[in-house]
Structure 1
Amino acid sequence: MSTAGTSRPPRIAIFGLLGSGNLGNHGSLDAMLRFLRAKHPEAEISCVCSGPEELERQYGIPSTAITWYQAHGPGRTRLTTNMRKVFGKVADLFRMPRLFRRFDIVIVPGMGVLETTLELNPWGWPYALFLMCVSARLAGAKVAFVSVGANVAHERANRWLFTSAARLTTYRSYRDTYSRDAMRQMGLDTSQDPVYPDLAFSLPDPVLQPPVRASRPTVGLGVMAYHGTSADRARSAEISADYRGKIVEFARRLVDEGYRIRLVTGDPSDEAVVSVVYDDLRQTRPELVEKRLVREPAESLGELMQQLAEVDLVVASRYHNVQAALKLSKPTISISYGVKSDVLMGEMQLAEFRQSIRSLDVSLLMDQLRALEARAAGIEPAMRARNAEFAASLERQFAVLSATLFGSDTSVPASSDQ
């Protein structure tokens, strides 16, 4: 369908923290691209993202850096770098309006774009998101936040930037009721905002090879470079060391009990934790490490899902490691760093199989794993049924998006699946 009132194809910008290697964010992009290419193949698609060179390499989509600073990079000294950052914030006031005059539609596909669960500077992503929404709407473009994640931002600047950006959207939906409630608590009118599942639940399952059965199950161990939130900056090193130490202890116990481990990640920064686990087992369990430990990087959520498809049980920290495992109906334990993981585990009726990353108990984790293994056969059918519901719900959202963004209706739909 052409843009309403013109004969040319619609020009779409996909906006987000993409191209930096975060597999969860790329999974949301993959899902949105599948929808656009299937239902609106005439659309001209570009990306405005944090890693344009990498995104173009992986997807072949014309891409532009979100900010002036990302496009030009740091200076040679700390002083010149700081000066470039300050200049960039001013330059973006003029750069972004010119950039978004090129587009008819701007889509923010999924991701935790309204979250503060990890370290976040208001002058970084929140400012860029707000400035994009202002620039796009001034240019007459429609803006859609699709199945995004949110939490209550306690920093006043982040709260104002997030709610102000959301008010400028043509369409917005959330990936769970917790996210919608968080935006309502921050003062946004969410009475017409629908809730649909995470976009990655619409992705196809990987093609499976015949399983090779081992004497003991393989555990997919999803690790992350965890340092706490913005409020924890003074203790970030301590928090990170505590998490790594407990993951190492858990890995030792797994191999001692005969389990195989497949280490999985969701961001390039996680490789540091993978190395810590591998190096420890190579030193403390040299006779077992090559037999019972697999480490293979993944470049996409699809590759990650292929890896997880080959395991029996999953214990993971990153939200999209947990989400991908649940999508594959794998019995899963979540080491949760945010409520979003707890909510997702509850929706899959696995709330008892989770722990907070801040108070992780390795002995309890082993007990949970044994209980999960014993109940796996009974859990998996219910997970498959829930996944079918999620996929059907997302198909309904894609139909709404087609009507809202590619038709004449610019109102936020009133219906919600949850």
Structure 2
Amino acid sequence: MTPPRVGVFGLLGSGNLGNDGSLEALLGHLRAARPDAVVDALCGGPEAVTERYGIPATRLHWYRGEYRTASRAGAVAGKGLGKLVDAVRTAAWVRRHDVVVVPGMGVLEATLPLRPWGFPYALFLLCAAGRLTGTPVALVGVGAAPIADRATRALVRRAARLAAYRSYRDEPSRDAMRAMGVDTARDAVHPDLAFALPAPAASPPAPPSASPSGTVCVGVMDFHGGNDDRARAGEIHRRYVDGTTRLVRALVAEGRPVRLLTGDACDAAVVTAILDAVDSPLVTASGAASLAELTAEAAAADAVVATRYHNLVCALKAGTPTLSLSYAAKSDALMERMGLGAYRHPAREADAGRLLEQFRELERNAPELRRVLAERNATVSRQLHDFLNALTDALFPAKSRTVKETA
């Protein structure tokens, strides 16, 4: 039979480790289940995707300044022309494939600042092109959330309706799409694709101690609130950075080494602010460039405090007791799924005193939490394995192969 031509689509290779981790997990499954598949990408960072994953890649947008603010007439005209060119480019790319997959990512949400004519428009073009050319578009393990902005909501809803296949990384995502008028009766819910990535060898837990002294990983984020928080974005950002900095300073005062983690290139500014404010050799910045490296960092720590969703995924997958600085329902749902729902703190209301209290409680209960995480990770692994096999059957019904579990 002719090898299936598979396209992958999204803001991949653009510096967000979570997005790239979802792609890596999907490619790992495809290479095991359908090694004959011919895969290429339409994505934000084609050079990085080709270098890292060895697949051909094309730039998502014709206009290179798509995500820069356009103030001059030439830039505005370039963006406008780019929308028309992208419609043709996307359709031409889609029709060359047997199936196009959007792997993971929060493509149906606006929990971070987002403009409708940016990625929501690109996703709509993709799904519309799939419907017009007869190429199925599969939204696999994606995140969704209620969207207040009418234009963004309309584009996201229409894109979801035009997709041939949808599955979600949590129940709130499916509920959000149902509330937006999408028929989700046949849509699956399963663990985040990143849980399919290889896990590092488990580190032996530190012996019980009245005064833990091991490393604490603190995952930070260039957080300004969501799409509906633009009016007070500056205030939210200042409060978040201040609360996180105070937590790090308190840990350092107790002699605890602190390792700062990120998940996107834009987070570097927050790392620098904390390093400058605390000014201690006990605080260091991780250079992790993949979810695998982030998971290894988390596995080597006594505990983790994290904001970014995929920082949480890495820490929980590593089996390390974790406190979530939660900014969206997806973080809350993940913590509940992994049995740590009690250890959450709102990122918009970051309070160092309360954070430290919750952190101390987390460490007191660390042995039990490690046991819970080990059990939940085993369950998640089975669930995701079963889903990925079902996905193979759904996307390649003529010839599918079941990936056998390894002992």
Supply the AA of the counterpart residue of 1:255: V
- Measured against aligned partners, the alpha-carbon deviations of 1:191-245 in whole angstroms (never above 9, x if no partner) come to 1111101011111112467889996021110000011122332332232122111
Q: Matches of 2:70 and 2:185 in 1, distance apart?
A: 49
Tell me if structure 2 keeps the 8 A contact 1:105–1:405. Answer: yes
Tell me if structure 2 keeps the 8 A contact 1:163–1:188. Answer: yes
- Whether 1:69 and 2:63 are equivalent positions in the alignment is yes
- Measured against aligned partners, the alpha-carbon deviations of 1:353-380 in whole angstroms (never above 9, x if no partner) come to 1111111211111011111111100111
Unaligned runs of at least 5 residues, structure 2: 400-407
Supply the AA of the counterpart residue of 2:88: F
Tell me if structure 2 keeps the 8 A contact 1:74–1:81. Answer: no
Distance 1:34 1:355, change over 3 A: same
SS of the aligned residue for 1:69 comes to coil
- Whether 1:29 and 2:6 are equivalent positions in the alignment is no
Tell me if structure 1 keeps the 8 A contact 2:263–2:308. Answer: yes
- Measured against aligned partners, the alpha-carbon deviations of 1:301-339 in whole angstroms (never above 9, x if no partner) come to 111111111101000010110111111111110001101
Structure 1 residue 73: Cα displacement: 9.0
Structure 1 residue 10: Cα displacement: 0.8
Tell me if structure 1 keeps the 8 A contact 2:7–2:97. Answer: yes
Q: Matches of 1:150 and 1:79 in 2, distance apart?
A: 34
Tell me if structure 1 keeps the 8 A contact 2:130–2:163. Answer: no
Structure 1 residue 386: Cα displacement: 0.8
Tell me if structure 1 keeps the 8 A contact 2:203–2:299. Answer: no
Q: Matches of 2:34 and 2:24 in 1, distance apart?
A: 15
SS of the aligned residue for 1:68 comes to coil
What does 1:90-109 correspond to in 2, within 5 Å?
Answer: 90-109=84-103
- Whether 1:281 and 2:274 are equivalent positions in the alignment is no
Q: Matches of 2:242 and 2:351 in 1, distance apart?
A: 11
Q: Matches of 1:83 and 1:360 in 2, distance apart?
A: 41
SS of the aligned residue for 1:254 comes to helix
Distance 1:83 1:173, change over 3 A: same
Aligned length: 396
Percent identity for Structure 1 against Structure 2: 47
Q: Matches of 1:315 and 1:240 in 2, distance apart?
A: 17
Tell me if structure 2 keeps the 8 A contact 1:106–1:141. Answer: yes
1:187 corresponding residue in structure 2: 181
Select the structure with the greater relative contact order (CA < 8 A; seq sep ≥ 6): 1
- Whether 1:326 and 2:316 are equivalent positions in the alignment is yes
Supply the AA of the counterpart residue of 1:257: E
Q: Matches of 1:59 and 1:242 in 2, distance apart?
A: 38
Tell me if structure 2 keeps the 8 A contact 1:118–1:228. Answer: yes
1:57 corresponding residue in structure 2: 51
Unaligned runs of at least 5 residues, structure 1: 1-6, 283-288, 410-418
2:405 corresponding residue in structure 1: none
In structure 2, which of residues 337, 349, 354 is the aligned counterpart of residue 347 of structure 1? 337
What does 1:125-204 correspond to in 2, within 5 Å?
Answer: 125-204=119-198
SS of the aligned residue for 1:355 comes to strand
TM-score for the superposition, normalised by structure 2: 0.93
Q: Matches of 1:129 and 1:75 in 2, distance apart?
A: 20
Tell me if structure 2 keeps the 8 A contact 1:11–1:45. Answer: yes
SS of the aligned residue for 1:197 comes to coil
Tell me if structure 1 keeps the 8 A contact 2:66–2:79. Answer: no
Q: Matches of 2:172 and 2:379 in 1, distance apart?
A: 19
2:78 corresponding residue in structure 1: 84
Supply the AA of the counterpart residue of 2:369: I
Tell me if structure 2 keeps the 8 A contact 1:74–1:84. Answer: no
- Whether 1:303 and 2:288 are equivalent positions in the alignment is no
